[in-house]
Amino acid sequence: MRITIPSKIVDACDICHRQVQPGLVDKCVICGKEYCHTCEGIFVGCIHQPRVCKICAELDEVRKVIDDFAKPILMILKHRDSELRLTRKK
């Protein structure tokens, strides 16, 4: 969102409406709103946080998709770690 202040235009979060520095907002892949890092959806235990706002993060459908992808990602990382252990010098 862009807010017009007399004589200038600033970037603002679509959710909390706080003014943010240009380039410090992300776009939610679900609803398309631009959100600041304060309004980022956090998934506890998630290895890599998806680009989702805190409003969409509360949806049960979104949490189910995240849970569905968590197990395969964890398996890949465990396999990577075991391969890295094999490279250790004896």
- Domain map (residue ranges) of the chain: 2-86
Q: What is the pLDDT of residue 81?
A: 93
Q: Round to whole Å and give the CA distance between 1 and 12.
A: 5
Q: What is the pLDDT of residue 22?
A: 80
High-pLDDT (> 90) share of the chain, %: 53
Q: Round to whole Å and give the CA distance between 41 and 62.
A: 11
| pLDDT, tens digit (0-9, with 9 covering 90-100), for 43-77 | 887 878 899 999 999 999 999 999 888 888 889 98
Q: Round to whole Å and give the CA distance between 22 and 14.
A: 14
Token pair listed for 13: 């979060």
Strand order in the sheet with 8-12: 2-5, 8-12, 19-20
